[in-house]
Chain A
Amino acid sequence: MTSKLLAGQDVEVDPEGFLVDASQWNKDVASAIAKEEGIDDLTGQHMQVINFMRSEYMAKGTAPNIRLLGKTSGVTVKELYQLFPKGPAKLAAKIAGIPKPHGCI
């Protein structure tokens, strides 16, 4: 684990840059991570997905996968790929400050 300065705040991150402690997250931290990932502006739709992911994680202890996101977050899978290019579930989890969703073996 390493410590990292994001939006003027010290946070713990894993080797891939995912927050270790979801409680260290706030909107400014989210914007800072998003910028590093090439998303300059977190829109309302981005935040809708991010808030959904956080509430799912808090309730269930795991991050929702892309299929579940498409079904239940109010944003289609296609839009998810536009909002969070390449790997929406992974990238949205990173910006949402929750652990990397680990694909099952």
Chain B
Amino acid sequence: MNRLLILGGGTAGTIVANRLRRRLDEDSWQITVVDQDDRHLYQPGQLFVPFGIYQSRDIARPRRQFIPDGVDLVMGEIEQVIPDESVCRLIGGRELPYDYLVIATGASPRPDQTPGFEGPEWRKSIHEFYTFDGAAALAAKLAQWDGGRMAIHIVDMPIKCPVAPLEFTFLADAFFSDRGMRDRVEMVYVTPLDGAFTKPVAARHLGGILEERKVGIESEFAVERVDVEEKKLVSYDEREVDFDLLVTVPLNMGADYIERSGLGDDLNYVPVDKATFLSKAHDNVFAVGDASDIPTSKAGSVVHFSLELFEDNFVNHVHGRQMTKAFDGHANCFIESGHGKGLLIDFNYDTQPLPGRYPLPGLGPFSLLRETEANHWGKMMFRWVYWNLLLPGNNLPLDPLMSMAGKEEEEPA
């Protein structure tokens, strides 16, 4: 009996379990998924919780509902992987030996990495929306906040869903306008990047929207600490940003057991081949989704496209054959811009998000990098797609590799 062990039952781990259960013979392959709890979050929905658009209950379902028959789900906290012995040890001592390991434990916000965040102001004037509890706490705060200076802040890249802080900003602007209090809120976007986004063409378009919405931008801001008494962010080069309400995206890191197992880089992401996700250090270890160090967005969209190709590669690899499918870093995502509109971006390792049109049989085309109502509806529809098509590991009618069809080249500024 061959043993496949999947660490993490989130987006990536669940899709891998579903896809590989269909591909690997039940008589010769045992598949086990480990997770520490039974709550699967629809993470893109967390963006909407602070504004009351979604309630917490709209974005959570039991994990086991999406784990297929023929796959064991083990609840436990991972202590350590010992790659040389091909065994994973859980806290409490249980040992799970494997022939192949797929690491899919994602990335998590780590407020403990910035001095001052987790002090007396945490979830009072310092908030985040990347956790279930954090998004709910921020919803309660915004429901009764009567204005002041709001700083939306990113500690460092990479982060999960790099467009989410911008979307949060656009939605907050719309939220305050709808409540007739936008003139009582001063908004500033504080980023370690040199612009609104990581890539120049999209940064120009998105920066333009920030300006339109009268949101200030404080760029190249590398935060050292937060001064809790004075309520200000302080950077390493001694710049300061005052706030009444801080919505931060804490440093994102891979799971701590990855560090304990000697499997990660400085942020606990597992170094892998960016085309196949095979560990650079171990021939029977893969890392998929946010847990790997591939140089693209940490996002469910990347997970979906990448795993369509991973499935064939994995089967070939375990049979000693060449892995023939190479992932190109393709991802696309809807960017909610408030007032019932959204944008769409489509990109890969080598091609940055460009304007134009994204062809989609039946529903499309969607406009790229332009605000439209269709893009908003695409985003809202996505929750259904996630639970019903994506997690079960179905192929969507989208090519996993990026295409230039419909895209317009733009001259550098």
Contacts and interface: CB of A to CB of B under 8 A. Distances in A.
Interface stretch (B5-13, B66-74, B154-162, B397-405): B154-162
Nearest to B192: A103
Given A67-B156, A78-B236, A87-B220, A103 B193 contact: yes
Given A103-B198, A105-B198, A77 B224 contact: yes
A77 B297 CA distance: 25
Nearest to A67: B266
A101 to B, nearest CB: 11
A86 B162 CA distance: 22
B135 to A, nearest CB: 23
A7 B309 CA distance: 49
B245 to A, nearest CB: 27
B297 to A, nearest CB: 5
Interface residues of A, number: 17
Interface in B213-252: 220, 222, 224, 236-237
B295 interface: yes
B266 A71 contact: yes
Interface string A87-105: 1000000000000001111
Interface string B189-200: 000011000110
A102 B222 CA distance: 16
Task: Tell me the interface secondary structure of chain B in the complex.
Answer: loop
Nearest to B238: A81
A62 B250 CA distance: 24
A74 interface: no
A74 to B, nearest CB: 15
B222 A81 contact: yes
A40 B186 CA distance: 40
Interface size class, chain B: 20 to 34
A41 to B, nearest CB: 20
B158 A104 contact: yes
B347 interface: yes
Contacts of A86: 220, 237
Interface in B331-378: 347, 352
B236 A105 contact: no
Interface in A67-86: 67-68, 71-72, 77-78, 80-81, 85-86
B56 to A, nearest CB: 29
Interface string B286-297: 000000000111
A105 B222 contact: no
A32 interface: no
Contacts of B266: 65, 67-68, 71-72
Interface in B276-326: 295-297
B164 interface: no
Contacts of A87: 194, 220
Contact of B157 (A72, A77, A104): A104
Nearest to B222: A66
9 closest Cβ pairs, A-B complex: A104-B158, A81-B236, A105-B198, A68-B266, A81-B237, A105-B297, A103-B157, A103-B198, A104-B295
Given A77-B236, A81-B236, A104-B295, 7 more contacts: A66-B156, A71-B266, A87-B220, A103-B158, A103-B198, A105-B158, A105-B297
10 contacts: A77-B224, A77-B236, A81-B222, A81-B236, A85-B237, A86-B220, A87-B194, A103-B198, A104-B198, A104-B295
Interface of A: 65-68, 71-72, 77-78, 80-81, 85-87, 102-105
